Amino acid sequence: MGISRGGAAPRAGATLWALLAAVVLAGCGLVAEQDGQAPRSAGSASQSPGSGPASAPATARAASPTPTPGKGPGCPAVRCTTVLVTGDMLVHDELWQQAQQDAAVSGAPGMDFGPLLEGQRRYINNSDLAICHQETPVAGPDGPFSSYPSFNVPPQIIPATKQVGYQACTTGSNHTIDRGTDGLLRTLDALDAAGLKHTGSYRTENESHGILMMQTPAAKIAVIQATYGLNGLLPEYPWQVDMLDAPAMIAKAEKARAAGADIVLAAMHAGDEYASEPNAQQQEVARALVDSGQFNLVYGHHTHSVQPIENYKGTWIVYSLGNSVTELSPWYVVNNEGLLVRVQFGQDPSGKWSATDLAWAPSVIVRDPYRWCSVGADAPQGQCAGPDADAATRQRTRTVVESRGAGAAGARELLITREP
């Protein structure tokens, strides 16, 4: 992708990075798991659920769940949790040049991507779990750096992603192996070092069989992600990147449920670039995932354009979130726009989780300086590209988002300034 113009043995430091990441997550009160190992909330006792003299009977716990409203909108159930997702993190030359300029101002060494992402913080803070999509492999701290068609971007984008509040990123895309196994490993190492969990690409075959599960205060959330292709490249090992395949994703979801997942999300990297409608593959796979009964939300990225939100058989499908960050395209206005989506899930008296609210915020990338900017009707960052341009982006986004009845089904614009 780009402005489209568009197993291997783990490194010796991989285990150390994993341990460091676990420590960071524990300190944030959010614990993740892979390979079926059950997570514990930070600070909880080490005994297993139901063990020890202080444990209450399972029936009593089920009958009297602890009220957990979660962040975001008012919870219509006893327990709720919210998940925020955004589109492609697509770093081009102009973005790292901006990061160098911002570092010169802030005094940070080398590059500072924080100001580019800062506008997202308010939305992330009002969500229990935030997931990004790391589109491209990263280079070493000093490069060499490159953008389209073979990306090798500054790794400083990753700690900035963590600092603005994300807890996890998906990593499977058509650019994942632009720099081969070395680039894939560098990216996963950098994510681990920053304390960001990840799924979609893997260091080892054993790791590829694991399921990423994140624990929020109210629920255990599994994330399953795959890409439609690799730009004609072949991975060194077939298990290094999850490819888009409905039966394989459903099998992972069933495994996640068996391991205790309350909520399962599917992320699809697929579609036609700059298109405002999903293609046949997107629709076929997304609906097959919903039809399986294993997924609570299906969402996508890759197209560099916002696509419709659809409520299909009671489950939300967000076909494409567009770009989260990218340099401006002079040819495709949709490339410069994106969608931030937050979904609230609630648990009914029977214990079943389902979406109780879906809210979206339209965004645009502006330059001089480069920034992510919300063009929501409440203008939380003030003017972005100008009143007329902002209104046009918001209207264009709404028209596409609601083209399949999302508004009538309950999807709404997220007005973050009106929340506590």
pLDDT score recorded for residue 65: 78
Report CA-CA distances (Å) from 168 to 94, 130, 221, 253.
25, 7, 12, 18
Does residue 275 have a pLDDT over 80? yes
Residue 404 lies in a domain: yes
Copy the structure tokens of residue 60. 């009593």
Does residue 58 have a pLDDT over 60? no
Q: With cut-offs at 50, 70 and 90, classify the pLDDT of residue 108.
A: confident
Does residue 35 have a pLDDT over 80? no
pLDDT score recorded for residue 37: 36
DSSP state of 228: S
pLDDT score recorded for residue 13: 41
Residue 318 lies in a domain: yes
pLDDT score recorded for residue 203: 98
Q: With cut-offs at 50, 70 and 90, classify the pLDDT of residue 113.
A: very high
Domain at 188, CATH number: 3.60.21.10
Encode pLDDT of 317-370 as tens digits: 999 999 999 999 988 999 999 999 999 999 999 999 999 999 999 999 999 999
- Total number of domains in the chain: 1
Residue with tokens 């494409």: 320
* Cα separation, 197 vs 267, whole angstroms: 15
Residue with tokens 């255990």: 220
Residue type, 226: A
Encode pLDDT of 196-249 as tens digits: 999 999 999 999 999 999 999 999 999 999 999 999 999 999 999 999 999 999
Q: With cut-offs at 50, 70 and 90, classify the pLDDT of residue 34.
A: low
Give the residue, 107 or 127, on which the prediction is more confident. Answer: 127
Question: Average pLDDT in the 274-295 region?
Answer: 98
Q: Give the chain's mean pLDDT.
A: 88
Copy the structure tokens of residue 59. 């029936």
Beta-bridge mates of residue 54? none
Does residue 291 have a pLDDT over 80? yes
**Cβ–Cβ < 8 Å for 188, 171:** yes
Does residue 77 have a pLDDT over 70? yes
pLDDT score recorded for residue 64: 65
Question: Average pLDDT in the 62-85 region?
Answer: 90
Does residue 393 have a pLDDT over 60? yes
* Cα separation, 21 vs 338, whole angstroms: 29
**Cβ–Cβ < 8 Å for 87, 268:** no
Is residue 141 reached through a cis peptide bond, with omega within 30 degrees of 0 on the bond before it? no
* Cα separation, 398 vs 406, whole angstroms: 10
Residue 15 lies in a domain: no
Residue 48 lies in a domain: no
Using a pLDDT cut of 70, give the percent of the chain over it.
85
pLDDT score recorded for residue 82: 98
Residue 297 lies in a domain: yes
Question: Average pLDDT in the 407-420 region?
Answer: 97
Q: With cut-offs at 50, 70 and 90, classify the pLDDT of residue 76.
A: very high
Residue 10 lies in a domain: no
What sign results for the dihedral spanned by CA atoms 181, 184, 187, 189?
Answer: negative
Does residue 190 have a pLDDT over 60? yes
Question: Average pLDDT in the 401-419 region?
Answer: 98
Encode pLDDT of 150-170 as tens digits: 999 999 999 999 999 999 999
Question: Average pLDDT in the 397-415 region?
Answer: 98
Domain that holds residue 190: 20-25+66-418
pLDDT score recorded for residue 31: 40
Indicate the pTM of the whole model: 0.86
Does residue 9 have a pLDDT over 70? no
Does residue 44 have a pLDDT over 90? no
Residue 150 lies in a domain: yes
Residue 33 lies in a domain: no
